[in-house]
Amino acid sequence: MALVRVALDARSYDIVIEQGALDRAGDLLSRHARKGRLVVVTDTHVAAAQLPRLDAALRASDVTVEPIILPAGEQTKSWRHLEQLLDALLALEIERGDHVVALGGGVIGDLVGFAASILKRGCHFIQLPTTLLAQVDSSVGGKTAINTRAGKNLVGSFYQPALVLIDPSTLDSLPPRETRAGYAEVVKYGLIDDPDFFAWCESDGHRLLAGDAQARVHAIERSVRAKAAIVADDERETSGRRALLNLGHTFGHALEADTGFSDTLLHGEGVAAGMALAFRYSARLGLCPQEDADRVTAHLKAVGLPYDLATAHVTANGPALVAHMLHDKKMAAGTLPFLLARGIGQTFLSKDVALDDVAAFLDEDRAKAQRGATL
C-alpha cells in the first residue's frame, strides 16, 4: 500500500493506493459510516462493474450501502443531474456529518464533490475513483464542478474530499480507449516539471496501458504525489503554480466544445491533443526546441492518443476554436493565460498570448498536417 498525504492544515487528507483496496473497503471506510450506512453515488457502467465488489466488502464490515445510480457520460455533469442527485441525497436524510462516496470516474467525482459542497452548506465526501484519469488527476485536489451551455466546469467549488481510495484493479474493467484517455494526464506530470518521468512514459508507458500492475501503481503514485505537492502549495490557484496542472486544457477544452462534450472526444483525449498543440505552439514562438515538441507528438501518436485537430475529430477553424476559449473560466480582464513550455519538464504560465495568433497557429497546424498526409 502507498499512502500520500495532501497537506492542507485542517483540510488535509490521505490518498490510499493499493491493488485490491476495493475488496477491503470495509476496513478502510467503515469508520466513516454513520449509523452503519454509506451512500454510494455511481453511474450505470460502474454500478455493473464495481458496485457489487464494494457492496460485498462493506457488508462484511456490517455497513449497509445506499446506492444512487446516475447515467454514464459527460452529460451527467449538468444542472439537471445535480438537482436529481441533491433530491436523492435529501430523501436519504444526509446530514453534515455524513460521508457520501463517489464511485466512478471524473464525472461522478466532480458532480458528487460539488453536491457535497452545497448540500446543507457542506457534508463530507470520499473519492473512490475507478478510471485512470480520475485516479491520477480529478479525484485529488478538491476541484468540483458541472458543465453549462457556456462551457466546461464553469460552475463549481473548491471542496476537498475526506479520503481518496485508489484501487488500480478497477482499471481492468475499462475499455482500452478509456485507459488511454487517462494516460494523457499521466504524461502531463512529466511534461510539467519532471522530464525523467516523461522519459519513463516513453520507455514504460506501454506496460501501464497493457495492464501491468507494477507500472500502474508506479505511475499513479508518482502522479498523485506530484499533484498533492502542487495542491498543498496552491490550493485555490492563487499563486499560479496550480495553474500548471492545466497544461493542454485550454486547447483541449476548446476541442471538446467543438465536439459537443461527447464521446467523439473524451476529456483525456482532448488534453492529449491540447498538450501536443501547446508544445508545437511553443516551438512556433521560439520558446521550445522543435525536437521536444516532436517527442511529445510522437509519444502521443505511438500510444494511440490524438495529437492534432484531425485526430481529435475537430473540424472548426482557428477563430471558431478561439471563440470557445473565450468562455474559459481562467479569463481575467480580457486576458486568457496559456500554459506554454520551454522544453519537456519546463512548463510555464504565459499571460501575453495573442488569441488571433493562436487562431492563425491552429489553421497553420491543420494545413501542415494535411500537407504531410499527402506526401
* 271, three cell numbers: 488534453
Q: Is there a catalytic annotation at residue 153?
A: no
Q: 327-339 burial, b for 16+ CB within 10 Å, e for fewer? A: bbebeeeeebbbb
Residue 81 annotated among the catalytic residues of the structure: no
Grid look-up 503554480 returns 241
Q: Active-site residue 121, yes or no?
A: yes
Residue from 313, 327, 308 nearest 260 by CA:
313
Burial of 52 (0-12, 13-18, 19+ CB in 10 A): exposed
Find out whether 338 and 287 touch, Cβ atoms under 8 Å: no
- Catalytic hit among 237, 295, 324, 366: 237
Known catalytic residue at 249: yes
DSSP-derived letter for residue 309 is T
* Residue in 188, 267, 299, 324 annotated catalytic: 267
The catalytic position among 45, 99, 253, 324 is: 253
Element (H, E) at 91: helix 79-91
Q: DSSP per residue over 263-293, as a string?
A: TTS-HHHHHHHHHHHHHHHHHHTTSS-HHHH
Amino acid at 314: V
Would the CA dihedral through 293, 302, 174, 135 be positive or negative? negative
Known catalytic residue at 253: yes
Q: Which of 143, 222, 295, 299 is catalytic?
A: 143
Any bridge partners for residue 125, and if so which? 100
From the candidates 246, 269, 280, 366, give the one annotated as an active-site residue: 246
Exactly one of 18, 74, 178, 185 is catalytic; name it.
Answer: 185
Q: Which three cell numbers stand for residue 229?
A: 505537492
Please give the C-alpha separations between residue 143 and each of 41, 108, 204, 265, 281, in angstroms, as whole numbers: 18, 12, 30, 22, 28
CA 325 → CA 10, 149, 267, 320, 334, distances in Å?
35, 14, 15, 9, 11
Catalytic residue among 45, 188, 242, 280: 242
242 catalytic? Reply is yes
Cα(116)–Cα(68) distance, integer angstroms: 14
Selecting among 227, 280, 324, 366, the annotated active-site residue is 227
User: Any idea which residues carry the catalytic annotation?
Assistant: 121, 143, 185, 227, 237, 242, 246, 249, 253, 267
